[in-house]
Amino acid sequence: MIRAFLTGSGAVSPFGGGVAAFWRGLLSGTSAIAPIRGFDTGSMPHALAGEVPAGAVDPWLSAAERRRPRVDQHALAAAREALGAARLDLAHCDATRVAVVMATTLGAMDLGEQYLRAALASPQRSARAHRLLGWPYAETAGALARALGVRGPVVSPSIACASGTQAIGQARELIQLGHADVVLAGGAEALCEFVVAGFNCLRATTATAVRPFDARRDGLALGEGAAVVVVEAETHARRRGADLVIELAGAGLSSDAVHMTAPARDGAGAVRAMRAALCDAGSAPAAVDFVSAHGTGTVYNDAMEMAALAAVFEPAAPPVNGIKGAIGHTLGAAGSFEAVLCARALQDGIVPPTAGCEELDAACRLDVVRGTPRVLPVRTVLSTSSAFAGNNAALVLRRV
């Protein structure tokens, strides 16, 4: 079997540009969630989000690239940082053996909103605005491939909030099947008015703070940005002298088949995905040193996840962290941000605290890392995501 390794990571997050800024923010235990400034929130009752600060992408993009849709900017900046971290020049690779798997749920929806608003103000622009309604969400993956000269498979998975996790699992599959030597995998999003309003209508958002696994949790806040990892075949990485430290060891998928937006209350679908990933990796639950949880801070999702993790790791789960209290729910990018977190935890032997979790739910039997970072001898980690329509995905990463 061809083994797949993570050889580089990149991120553009509400904490700023770069993995270093993302990691510092997580370790600080603070939150980058604040009132939305990027567009008029009007009469929305809840208008908090984790927004990427101005200038965060500038070190990696040209002036022309900074005129691209924001989601493309996030993806390209994170991909370039990941390639730099991997010390990988794609010009020296067989372009037909390089792939892109870039998840998104929103695509350039914010761009469409801009033109629709302009069309309302000026009827002469309405034709152009309606053409943009057909802008494919997969265009971000295509734009990334064109910018980097990628000639291998280009895929854009979209299974709601599990998309970023699925993207990295799919990258591993492309490597294992021999369809690629290098895959740029991850997720990217840009906030837009329609989706913020939609989550408000679902009554899924908080007016105060995101509190994963906290007794006072009352909803999520959205976020934006991109996280990208370089997934590389072992033989290709060894041939160029890359450091092989983190193996992408297993992946799993499942479906609840219960409800369009609500998770299965017993967490059975999430359990199946996590067990599938562990089986794929050849790892027993007892081998897992740390879990990066989905942790939305909503009442039902967190309760489901508490049940699911307790079932997988009976009698006691390893330490757990959730990052959405720090950067918000980045939808299709959420799982890829978790993968970057997991890679750093494996490298540094430290787990960040769960921002917003102060008063642990009395029903929670999990060891949620809170308050300050925790130093741990981390060798194997599990990352789990659950999404609308009952989609569940999980990854196992291992230090070698």
- Per-residue pLDDT of 169-225, as tens digits, reads 999 999 999 999 999 999 999 998 888 988 888 889 999 999 999 999 999 999 999
Residue 381 lies in a domain: yes
206 with 286, same domain?
no
154 with 258, same domain?
no
For residue 47, pLDDT over 70 is answered with yes
178 with 298, same domain?
no
Instruction: Label residue 398 by pLDDT band (50, 70, 90).
Output: very high
Can 130 be counted among the known catalytic residues? Answer: no
Three-state secondary structure call for residue 9: strand
* Parent domain of 392: 251-399
The single residue of 161, 192, 357, 364 carrying the catalytic annotation is 161
CATH number reported for the structural domain that contains residue 369 in this entry: 3.40.47.10
How far is residue 391's CA from residue 254's CA, in Å, rounded to a whole number? 6
Yes or no: say if 229 and 89 are a contact pair by the CB < 8 Å rule.
no
The tally of domains found in the chain comes to 2
Can 294 be counted among the known catalytic residues? Answer: yes
Residue 245 lies in a domain: no
Supply 396's token pair: 């196992």
State which amino acid sits at residue 395: L
The single residue of 46, 74, 236, 294 carrying the catalytic annotation is 294
How many other C-beta atoms lie within 10 A of the C-beta of residue 257?
9
pLDDT of residue 132: 58
235 with 370, same domain?
no
How far is residue 375's CA from residue 137's CA, in Å, rounded to a whole number? 40
Can 93 be counted among the known catalytic residues? Answer: no
Q: Quick one: which of 61, 82, 59 has its CA closest to 340?
A: 82
114 with 137, same domain?
yes
The single residue of 329, 342, 357, 364 carrying the catalytic annotation is 329
For residue 136, pLDDT over 80 is answered with no
213 with 300, same domain?
no
Yes or no: say if 150 and 100 are a contact pair by the CB < 8 Å rule.
yes
Residue 244 lies in a domain: no
| φ/ψ of residue 196, rounded to 5 | -60, -45
How far is residue 214's CA from residue 217's CA, in Å, rounded to a whole number? 5
For residue 133, pLDDT over 90 is answered with no
DSSP state letter for 111? H
74 with 221, same domain?
yes
310 with 224, same domain?
no
Instruction: Label residue 110 by pLDDT band (50, 70, 90).
Output: confident
